[in-house]
Homo-oligomer: A and B are copies of this chain.
Amino acid sequence: MNRDEAVIGIDIGGTTTAVGLVDQKGNLLAEGVIATGSQGSAETLVARLHEKIGDLHKTIPDNLKIRGIGIGAPNANYYRKTVENPPNLNWGASVNLVELFRKYYDLPVAVTNDANAAALGEMQFGAARGMRDFIVITLGTGLGSGIVANGGLLYGADGFAGELGHTVVDPVGRECACGKRGCLETYVSATGLCRTASALMAERLEPSILRDLSYTQLTSKIIYEAAIQGDGIALAAFDATARILGMKLADAVAHTGPEAIFLYGGLATAGDLLLSPTRRYMEQDLFISYRGKVLLLRSGLPEESGAVLGAAALIWHELIEK
């Protein structure tokens, strides 16, 4: 390893895009955030990112050599290096990110979805170091997942493996933005928690401070704070979320047999309010061969920079393999 080398890690989100320069040990040497501009084109975003990266470059020693660019983005395809039909961006059917970045940089570029990047970040810089079989669940607006098995990230035959957010909880359940019904992320995610709180207020008579807020005003943070103060509806919403997550994590274990599952992202910061009951429910739902063998943990990556570190891990992984 060369101490004067770094990669560019980029996390493209629906609202903001974060970028950082990351060395091989996972040190964030410089970082910045720009608005994604969801109505703009991918070309415009890349041009603005190029500018931002130029600014970051000025803050670090001149002799630092940039080796490559790793990108985490919604609906990104690792094999084709494309972003396909991203739900929150106005980019159309398919955008080839490598071609766009090659206009500015003569560097290797790797692309995958944000949850896969998070899994690689966990493996290289986080709590999964040394593990060959584990799963990372990202809990934000939706639910993403990255699966590592036999020591390698699973991309699947077509580059889209690991979409646990769209496994089914209830085939006649909640409408999902993907067009299906009852997908896991309609129950387990920041928005899923709000939907659950709303449903519980309809179902139960118990008073709750959440009853004074409109559906639009509800956020996972408000529900978290209400739960901490002992609000019954908020506590029940977390318990119901944990019940469903535990059940579906037990299913995930029956597929790839991981030694650990890590929760990352906004909702995971609820900590034991979510982790403890999820652990209990998962354990009771596990097939006998797995019981007592699967750890459920919070991600070892920092909440603020984990996505950029993951994107950096993606390209470091490519550079080291080759």
A157 part of interface (Cβ distance < 8 Å)? yes
> Whole-angstrom distance from the CB of A257 to the nearest CB of chain B?
2
Q: Which of A52-60, A166-174, A233-241 contacts B (4 or more CB under 8 A)?
A: A166-174
A interface size (C-beta, 8 A): 46
> Whole-angstrom distance from the CB of A86 to the nearest CB of chain B?
12
- Establish whether residues A164 and B255, one from each chain, have CB atoms under 8 Å apart when the complex forms: yes
A155 part of interface (Cβ distance < 8 Å)? yes
Q: Using a CB–CB distance below 8 Å, which chain A residues touch chain B?
A: 75, 84-85, 131-134, 147, 149-150, 152, 154-164, 166-168, 171, 178-180, 183, 247, 250-252, 254-259, 285, 287-290, 293
| Interfacial chain B residues near A293, Cβ < 8 Å | 157-158
A256's contact among B85, B147, B183, B258, by CB below 8 Å, is which? B147
A251's contact among B149, B152, B167, by CB below 8 Å, is which? B167
Q: How many monomers of this protein are in the complex?
A: 2
Classify the secondary structure of A's interface with B.
loop
Complex alpha-carbon distance, A166 and B250, angstroms: 9
Q: Among the interface residues A132, A159, A255, A258, which one has the most CB atoms of the partner chain B within 10 A?
A: A255
A289's contact among B163, B247, B287, by CB below 8 Å, is which? B163
Closest-by-CB residue of B relative to A243 is: B171
| Interfacial chain B residues near A287, Cβ < 8 Å | 163, 166, 178, 180, 183
- Establish whether residues A257 and B161, one from each chain, have CB atoms under 8 Å apart when the complex forms: yes
Closest-by-CB residue of B relative to A288 is: B178
